Structure 1
Amino acid sequence: MRKAMVIIVAALAGIVTGIVVSELIGMISYLWFGKLMGIKYLPIVFAIVFAWIGPGIDRRFIRTNTRK
């Protein structure tokens, strides 16, 4: 149950991060080049990557906290 919750939270964090990074790319490209550019599926890619990496990071935090 904990692993599923970590995956869901990591995917949501990836979507939010992807939207923010995509908007930053759009703003910077507009300022530098005068036209909007961006990466089309960046929030989806970030969500997949975060959901894939999230359980490993959670496992590492659990392991370090139980050794005290």
Structure 2
Amino acid sequence: MNIVDTIIEKFGGIRPAARKLEEAPANIQGWLKRGVIPAKKQQKVLDTAKQNGIDLKPADFFSTPVRHS
């Protein structure tokens, strides 16, 4: 599961995310396929998450590097 999968799952899946974000489901599907939410849409995703009580932070858009000892 990549970062976009995790974010979209927090919204309840593709169709619920599309409804909440007022985006076409095909757009959300494209984000999943590419593995990235366009930068120009990220603030909207954050704002919509907050409005819907979804726990989402700016850091959630970035992967955490794995630290090797």
Tell me the TM-score normalised to structure 1 length: 0.32
Structure with greater helix percent: 1
More contact order relative to length (CA 8 Å, sep ≥ 6): 1
Rg larger for: 1
